[in-house]
Amino acid sequence: MADGEVVGVRTDGEQGKLALIETYPDVFFTIPHFDGYPAVLLRLDAIDAELLREVVTDAWLLKVPKKMANEWLAAHPPA
């Protein structure tokens, strides 16, 4: 388990979860409770604002209605 504040965010599946953990092992991790669940834990003191914004936005886009997600994506095209 991590010291400090931890937040859980939804991922697009097990592959997305593992990719975050492998790419940013100092930031993202999981525990047995989340095995088989599309979510990852992150250390707030280890993540920069840009990456935090990205993972929270991605998690939000996975949960909102498709119409809302598409409207938001149209108004905020990737850089």
Domains in the chain: boundaries: 6-75
Round to whole Å and give the CA distance between 43 and 73: 27
Over the stretch 5-48, which tens digit does the pLDDT of each residue have?
A: 999 999 999 999 999 999 999 999 999 999 999 999 999 999 99
Determine the pLDDT at residue 3: 76
Whether residue 1 is predicted with pLDDT greater than 90 in this model: the reply is: no
- Tell me: pLDDT of 4 over 90: no
51-71 pLDDT, tens digit per residue, is 999 999 999 999 999 999 999
- Give the side-chain half-sphere CA count within 13 A for 77: 2
3 state DSSP class of 45: helix
Q: What proportion of the chain, given as a percentage, has pLDDT over 90?
A: 91
